[in-house]
């Protein structure tokens, strides 16, 4: 087989519709562009949302709220949330997902120090605050920081 033998699969190359070939063709005279105006001219160009000079919809509607460009990549867990687990358990993002404490087990998890912990646990998270680490260590537990 040579490179000259390779052909596009059947139906891959669609034949262009012939325009401006007489009134009887169904695409003659104005060639499907209607009559007059910017849309009928060569080199016509409309920016997204253009409404023929009328104020564009996205400019007419009120703007509400704020969307941060830097989405927080961390899912937040508090020390008090870890009391759900049994004594001596090893907690990872998978366990947190199964318990319904985080929504996505593929995203990073950050442990905050809000609340109290009553049992020793081994916690594996991507990031933890100093207060959270102190509270877990005070309950004879350990914190392991995972690499992303």
Query: pLDDT tens for residues 48-64?
Result: 999 988 999 999 999 99
Most confident of 38-42, 69-73, 77-81, 104-108: 77-81
pLDDT at 71 over 90: no
Residue 7: pLDDT band by 50, 70, 90 thresholds?
A: very high
The pLDDT, as a whole number, for residue 56 is 95
Q: What is the DSSP string of the chain?
A: --GGG--PPTTSSPPPPP-SS-GGGSS-TTTTS-SSSGGGSTT----TT-BTTBPPHHHHSPP-S---SS---EEEEEGGGGGGSPTT-EE-HHHHHHTTS-S-TTSEEEEE--S---S--EEEESEE-HHHHHHHHHTT-EEEEPP-
Instruction: Spell out the residues 6+ positions from residue 2 whose beta carbon is closer than 8 angstroms to its own.
Output: none
- Average pLDDT in the 103-108 region? 91
The pLDDT, as a whole number, for residue 112 is 96
Domains, in order of start, for the chain: 74-145 (3.100.10.10)
Task: Give the pTM.
Answer: 0.55
**Hunting for tokens 């009928």 — which residue is that?**
40
Judged by average pLDDT, the poorest of 35-39, 58-62, 67-71, 109-113 is: 67-71
114-134 per-position pLDDT tens digit: 999 999 999 999 999 999 999
pLDDT at 148 over 80: no
Query: What is the number of other CB atoms lying within 10 angstroms of the CB of residue 67?
Result: 5
Q: What is the spatial distance between Cα 104 and Cα 94, in angstroms, rounded to a whole number?
A: 9
The pLDDT, as a whole number, for residue 41 is 92
Query: What is the number of other CB atoms lying within 10 angstroms of the CB of residue 133?
Result: 18
The candidate with the shortest Cα–Cα distance to 20, out of 33, 6, 8, is 33
């Amino acid at each position: 087989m040579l490179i000259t033998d390779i052909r596009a699969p059947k139906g891959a190359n669609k034949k262009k519709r012939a325009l401006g070939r007489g009134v009887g063709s169904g695409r003659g005279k104005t060639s499907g562009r209607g009559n007059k105006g910017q849309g009928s001219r060569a080199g016509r160009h409309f920016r997204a949302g253009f409404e023929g000079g009328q104020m564009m919809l996205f400019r007419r509607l009120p703007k509400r709220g704020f969307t941060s460009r830097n989405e927080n990549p961390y899912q937040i867990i508090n020390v008090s949330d870890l009391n759900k687990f049994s004594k001596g358990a090893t907690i990872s993002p998978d366990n947190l997902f199964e318990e319904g404490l985080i929504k996505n087990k593929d995203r990073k998890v950050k442990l905050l120090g809000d609340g109290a912990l009553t049992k020793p646990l081994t916690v594996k998270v991507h990031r933890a605050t100093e207060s959270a680490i102190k509270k877990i260590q005070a309950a004879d537990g350990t914190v392991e920081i995972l690499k992303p």
